[in-house]
Amino acid sequence: MTEGLKLSRRRLLELTAMSGAMVLAPRLAWAGEPQRGGHLVISSGGAAAGDSLDPRTFNSPYGAAVSGIIYNNLIAVQGPNKELVPELAQRWEAINDGLSWVFHLVEGVEFHNGKILTSEDVVYSLRRHAEPESRSSMRSVISNLVDIRADGDNRVIIDLPAVNYLFPAYMAHFTLGIIPAGTTEFTGIGTGGYKVTNFAPGEVLELVRHENYFKPNAAFVDSVELLAINDPSALTAAFQSGQVNMTSGLDARSAGLLESMSSLRIFKMEGGGYISFNMRCDIPPFDNPDMRLALKLAVDREDMLQRVGAGVGSIGNDTPVPSNDAVFSPNVEQKRYDPERARALFESVGYTGTIVLHTSDAISSRAVDMATVFQEHAARAGIPIEVQRDPADGYWNSVVGVAPFHVSARSARPTADAIFSTAFLGTSENNECKWVNEEFDAAIIAARAEENLERRLALYERAQEICSVDGGTMIPFFSATVQGTSADVDGFNVGAVELNGYRAVEQVWFT
C-alpha cells in the first residue's frame, strides 16, 4: 500500500504557487444566467490539409482549439492566474515521497460512443505519446516516466524518475486529451462537450452537443462550427462582419477599431504567449554561440513591440518567462539593441552569404511583419537577412523545428517548468532549436524537486540566464492575447491561455 506524502494543504499550495496554482474547482465569472440553444461559429488559424483528430498530433492553435472542444484532460488550466482545476481527475495528490502522483477520476464519465471512462482509457491515452512513431510534443515528458498504471477503475498512478512537485501541470497540455482504450482510428471520440459530425482537414470541424456530458453546467449551445481561417485579414473580416461568433488570435493593431463596434466584444490579456525566431543550434552557422548572440543583439525589441505589437505586450529577453510570471528574474540582464556589437560578433564568426529566415501567416499576421522588421534592424548591423514567406498549409509540420532559421510561436503554459521542459530541455523532442545545454537542463530538473522556494527561484534565475545568452530562441516581445465574441455571446472568461485554456466553447451561451 502506498503512503500519501505528508504535506499540508498550505505547504502544497506554497510549492505550486511559484509556477501556477492548484485549486479544487473552477471559478467562472459568468455575466448572466446561462441559456441553451443556438449555433456557435468560432475560428482559429494554424490549420492544414494534413490535420488529424489524433490528440498526439496537435501542434498548432487550430489543434489546441479542436482538443478543447472534443476532448478532456485529467486537469485543465483556467483564468488569468493559470489555475489548475479538476477535469477528468476530480483530485490528485503526491505519494511515495513525491515520486508518484495519484489521479482520482470522476466516475460515470461517458465517451461520445457511450463507453464509460475507466483508468485503462487514461493509461492507454497517455502511453501512446511515448510510442516510437509518436510525433507528440509531449513525447519526451511521457517517455521519461517510470510507469503509468491503473489502480482500480478510477485511480491512475504515475511514477516519476525523480521528485517533481510541478508535475500535475503537464496533464493540462492540450495534446493529452483522453480517448477510449484501443482506439486506432481517430474520428474524434472523446469525452468533451461536443461530438464530431463532420471534419474536413484544413477547412472545418462541425459538432453537436454531447447530451450526456459529465459537466452539468457546461456545453450550452446546440452545435458548433470551427472554421480554419489561416489568413489573419480574412479572420478579422469574418469576425467583424458577424460570420464568426468567437475567435482568438486577433491582431492587436486592429483591437481599437474592433472595440468601437457595438456588435463585438474584445478581450485583451497580457500573457506568456510569444512569437519567436528559432535558430537550429545543431547545424552551422547557428551552432556557433557568437552567431546566436549576434542575432539577438541585432533586434530592436522596443521598436518591434511598437510597430508590430501596437505597444500591447511586454519586452522579451529570449527566455519563455514573461515579467508577470511568478518565477521571472529581474536580475537577468535585459538585452538591448546593439548593432555595433552585433556586427563585431557576426564578423568574428566568418560567415558569408545571406541568412534565410522562414516565416508564414500560419503563425499569425505579425509573424511576417516581425521578420520584415527584424530584417531592417539586422541590416543596420551589417547582417543580411532574407525573409522567405512560406505557405500557411503545412508550415507547422514542414518548417517549424526543421528549417535552420524560422519563425514559430508558443502559447502560455500553466508553469514555467511546463514550457521549459517541453520546448527547451535538451532531451525534449519538441525542442525546435535542437539546443542542448547541460547546465540549463540540470537547473530545471533540480528546480522541480526543490521544496525551498528561495532555492527554487535561484535555480530558475540561473536557467533564465543561460537560456537568454546561449539559447537558440529569440523572443523579441510577449504578446497580449486579443480575443473576441459577438455581442450576443455571454459567459466568455479571459484566461492567460487562449480561449480560457481552450474550454471557452463549452462555457459560453447566446443571450
Q: What CATH number is given to the structural domain containing 408?
A: 3.10.105.10
Same domain for 139 and 51: yes
Same domain, 506 and 464: no
Angle at 505 between CA 501 and CA 506, to 5 degrees: 95
CATH code: domain of residue 149: 3.90.76.10
Domain that holds residue 401: 270-479
Q: How many C-alpha atoms does 216 have within 13 Å on its Cβ side?
A: 2
**CB 359 within 8 Å of CB 366:** no
Residue 305 within a domain? yes
How many domains does the structure of the chain reveal?
2
Residues 408 and 496 in one domain: no
pTM over 0.75: yes
Q: Is 135 within 8 Å of 54 (Cβ atoms)? A: no
User: In sequence order, what are the beta bridge partners of 94?
Assistant: 101
Quick one: 170 and 289 in the same domain? no
Distance of CA 368 to CAs 61, 234, 358, 390, Å?
A: 17, 15, 9, 10
Asked if the structure places residue 225 within a domain, the reply is no
Same domain? 505 vs 449: no
pLDDT tens digit at each of 511 positions of the chain? 333 343 443 444 444 444 443 333 333 444 578 999 999 999 998 888 999 999 999 988 899 999 999 999 999 998 888 889 999 999 999 999 889 999 999 999 999 999 999 999 999 999 999 999 898 989 989 999 999 999 999 999 999 999 998 899 999 999 999 999 999 999 999 999 999 999 999 999 999 999 999 999 999 999 999 999 988 889 999 999 999 999 998 887 888 889 999 999 999 887 778 999 999 999 999 999 999 999 999 999 999 999 998 888 899 999 999 988 889 999 999 999 999 999 999 999 999 999 999 999 888 878 999 999 999 999 999 999 999 999 988 898 899 999 999 999 998 888 899 899 989 999 988 899 999 999 999 999 999 989 888 999 999 999 999 999 999 999 999 988 889 999 999 999 988 888 999 999 999 999 9
**Is residue 240 within 8 Å of residue 261, measured between CB atoms?**
yes
Residue 210 in any domain: the answer is no
In a domain, 325, yes or no: yes
Do 343 and 414 reside in the same domain of the chain? yes
Same domain, 473 and 498: no
Q: Are residue 429 and residue 505 in the same domain, yes or no?
A: no
Shared-domain flag, residues 73 and 128 = yes
Q: Are 199 and 228 spatial neighbours (Cβ–Cβ below 8 Å)? A: no
**318 and 427 assigned to the same domain:** yes
- Do 434 and 499 sit in the same domain of this protein? no
Check if the beta carbon of residue 466 is closer than 8 Å to that of residue 483: no
Q: Examine residue 211 and state whether it is found in any structural domain, yes or no.
A: no
Q: Do 59 and 130 lie in a common domain?
A: yes
